[in-house]
């Protein structure tokens, strides 16, 4: 996940709209953290759905071999069988990124562990997961968990985050 300082973006926007009195007196400040899945299946399948018309270009450093252009963007990415019987789906909803952890019957949710790297602080405040990085604070609300019974009814399941040494898991 990547973040950029909003003050800098506002200055760029003012310049773009013709305000020549704005001075960019510093470089943009970017923040990023990475999530890796501990002990995940190495042979999981990644599927992408709903491609966007636009694409991204990545020109990192001075080495053209590291550059990537015309990288396709998608509305939804799913890692299938990231753990035995567990998928994770990433998507955008209301201009924010969301994810669903899809657990098949008899799969072990205790195996699902996300390691956060690069965040300044990760902690629980009540049932909410809080991630601090630079000037930014990201809050993930308590997980909403449910199962569909034999009659196709949704049965809510109590589920909470567990945080230990920058590793986030779920407790049901």
Residue-wise pLDDT for 30-72, tens only, equals 778 899 999 999 999 999 999 999 888 888 789 999 899 999 9
Q: Is the pLDDT of residue 13 over 70?
A: no
For the stretch 118-132, pLDDT in tens is: 999 999 999 999 999
How far apart CA 20 and CA 16 sit, in angstroms, is: 9
pLDDT at 87 over 70: yes
Predicted pLDDT at 102: 93
Q: Which two tokens stand for residue 65?
A: 């071999």
Contact 110, 103 (CB under 8 A): no
Contact 73, 56 (CB under 8 A): yes
DSSP string, 63-97: -GGG-EEEEEEEEEEEEEEEETTEEEEEEEETTEE
For residue 157, the 8-state DSSP code is E
Instruction: Decide if pLDDT at 25 tops 80.
Output: no
Asked whether the predicted pLDDT for residue 12 surpasses 70, the reply is: no
Q: Which of 14-18, 21-25, 159-163 has the highest mean pLDDT?
A: 159-163
């Amino acid at each position: 996940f990547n973040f950029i300082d909003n003050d800098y973006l506002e200055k760029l926007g003012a310049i773009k709209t013709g305000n020549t009195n704005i001075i960019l007196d510093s470089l943009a400040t970017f923040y990023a953290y990475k999530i890796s899945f501990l002990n995940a299946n190495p042979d999981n399948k990644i599927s992408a759905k709903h491609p966007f018309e636009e694409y991204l270009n990545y020109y990192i450093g001075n080495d053209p071999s590291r550059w990537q252009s015309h990288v396709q963007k998608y509305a939804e990415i799913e890692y299938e069988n990231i753990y035995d019987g567990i998928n994770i789906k990433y998507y955008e909803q209301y201009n924010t990124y969301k994810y669903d952890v899809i657990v098949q019957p008899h799969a072990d949710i205790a195996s699902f562990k996300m390691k956060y790297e690069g965040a300044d602080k990760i902690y629980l405040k009540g049932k909410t997961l809080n991630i601090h990085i630079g000037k930014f604070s990201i809050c993930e609300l308590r997980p909403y968990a449910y199962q569909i019974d034999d009659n196709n009814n949704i049965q809510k399941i109590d589920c909470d985050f567990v945080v230990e040494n920058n590793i986030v898991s779920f407790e049901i």
